[in-house]
Amino acid sequence: MANDKIIVALDYPNEGAALELVRKCDGRPVKFKIGKELFTNAGPDIVSKIIDLGGYVFLDLKYNDISNTVKGAAKAAANLGVDLFNMHASAGFEKMKAAKEGVTEVASKEPFREPRVIAVTCLTDMDEHDLKLIGVNETPAEYAARLANLAKHAGMDGVVCSPKELPIMRYILGDDATLVTPGIRPRWSEANEQKRITTPADAIANGATMLVIGRPITGHEDPAKAIDLIADEILAAMPRYNSNVLNQDDRTKLDDYLKQRNMELAAYMKLRGRQQSCS
């Protein structure tokens, strides 16, 4: 079904407005994204209330902390029953591993499906100038590739990335990875604050697993109808799923880039091994 590829962004400041939107979706089997503002104002109970209404939850809190804290947060998210949640890949290799360990620990004790843990690469409103200001001398695509490769080796289930970086992410992470892309605007909607956007049909052709869509649904007079329109666009694009693959020159360049990154990771692992053996 095309609906299961849609994640509705519940960018609301309070529980009442968010739950009203969930009800207006009229049972469409979509996922609902709970971000920092809604979670902070409504608390963890908002997750169970959405699940009780038949919804699936993407907990978008982008964890980034020391390993023990990230692991504890991951266990808490798993216990809430979310379908997937995320963390910043820039938190580092050990933190991503800790998140997966936390989820696995909960799943070993509770009879339920493990939530997918996906890593945030480069935020979609960041361009090359933004990255330079924080000391990253790479393009958004290069930086996203670096972080995606690290996430893969840390055991993440997928990544959040810009739609235009999807072919790179699919090449790096493989066919089974969950690729979630924001910055999506259907053809009948206008772009807002995000600098790198594309349509649902183009995102599907680029290899997206799920599309995060906010205002075109939440701002529509009939959210259920908006979902149906987007689902139709996705369904029509499915024959072209993952058809926009990298050409041979781009694959060769990316392979060379990843080889260097993997050498850096191997050196890091060797150093960590020595440090642990001396502790």
Instruction: Report the greatest alpha carbon distance in the chain.
Output: 63
Calpha distance 77→26 (Å, rounded): 26
d(CA 194, CA 171): 24
Active-site residue 62, yes or no?
yes
Beta-carbon contacts of 127 under 8 Å, excluding residues fewer than 6 positions away, are 140, 195, 196
Q: Residue 231 and residue 29: Cα distance in Å, rounded?
A: 11
Q: Is 177 left (phi over 0), alpha (psi -120 to 50) or beta?
A: beta
Give the count of beta carbons closer than 10 Å to the beta carbon of residue 44. Answer: 13
Q: Which of 5, 36, 62, 109 is catalytic?
A: 62
Beta carbons of 51 and 76 less than 8 angstroms apart: no
* Residues forming the active site: 62
